[in-house]
Amino acid sequence: MFSLRKCGLTVAARMQPANLHFPNIRNYAARKLNVPLSGMAMARSGGIASMMRLPIASSADGLDACFVGVPIDTGVSNRPGTRFGPREIRTQSVLVRECNIATGAAPYQSLMVADVGDVWVNLYNLPDTCRSIKENFAKIIKNGCVPIAAGGDHTITYPILQAVAAKYGPVGLVHVDAHGDCSDTMLGEKHGSPFRRAVDEGLLDTKRVVQIGLRGSGYSVNDFKFQLDNGFQIVPAEECWHKSLTPLMHEVRQQMGDRPVYISFDIDALDPAFAPGTGTPEIGGLTSIQGLEVVRGCAGMNIVGADLVEVSPPYDTTG
């Protein structure tokens, strides 16, 4: 019979609060922290569908980290629907319990976390939406709160990075995606280009940028030239096939060092067999296990913000 003791860890040892590296971690011993509403207290089909069943806060004041929705699909290049992503992510998050038994992470024992709702967006004016995102995230991170954003299409990462870089300077980036999102223009508009705009404005420490899972057809065989010319590390999906990504993430942690890092995870990085609910699916993607390896491999980095984008509920009828 399998025993935790055979792994060299007792249950008690594994369930200690995670040693998370947040820049402005506060003394949590004296605070009463928010915890998710337990399924023992209310059935998971009941209650308000906040992220992880956490309390809803009117601002990020006093929070170490927060969940925030950005419900737009104005910048989608193929199938729309990501404006409904934050709502559905919240709905599905009710199943997530307080502790990760596999890793021993127990974040709610050491961090004050809440759901701060959605950023105001203008679905008829993308530049105005970007302005609103930038201003709202500047307020969220003002006192060191780490925002975890639910999109929304990948446009949202650009104004978030504007706010983050204004506080922390150029940041490292772990970008998990099927697409590089570094086009200059499309149909004459600066579209599909959040990370090109971020480079243009000096928001990224380009020697600490890694893009994982890129794949699919392109407009030319030199589609990655911009990234490579600017020092990005590119990890195509083909280099991830049939292997664990844990060794890769060890290299990425060394690359990022102890300086600020932003994580942007596009759900289409996963193969559509695992995550069909997205607007631009590409076959040959990462498995759900590899996705977990990437996320877990970011533990210990100086994370100042993160997002999950391109979740498009209409294309995943299973929820």
179 is in an annotated binding site: yes
The residue type at 30? A
Residue 148, classed as helix, strand or coil, is strand
How does DSSP assign 187-217, residue by residue? Answer: TTB--S-HHHHHHHTT-EEEEEEEEEEE-S-
268 is in an annotated binding site: yes
* Tokens 């992503």 -> residue: 85
Q: Residue 158: which of 225, 203, 207 has the closest Cα? A: 203
154 is in an annotated binding site: yes
Interatomic CA distance for residues 164 and 305, integer angstroms = 8
73 is in an annotated binding site: no
Structure tokens at 227: 């990234």
Q: Locate all alpha helices (DSSP H) within 31-117, ordered by sequence.
A: 85-92
Q: Which residues pair with 68 in a beta bridge?
A: 149
Supply the DSSP symbol for 284. S
Q: Residue 153: which of 98, 217, 83 has the closest Cα? A: 83
Which amino acids are annotated as binding site, given as ranges?
154, 177, 179, 181, 266, 268
Q: Residue ranges for the binding site for Mn(2+)?
A: 154, 177, 179, 181, 266, 268
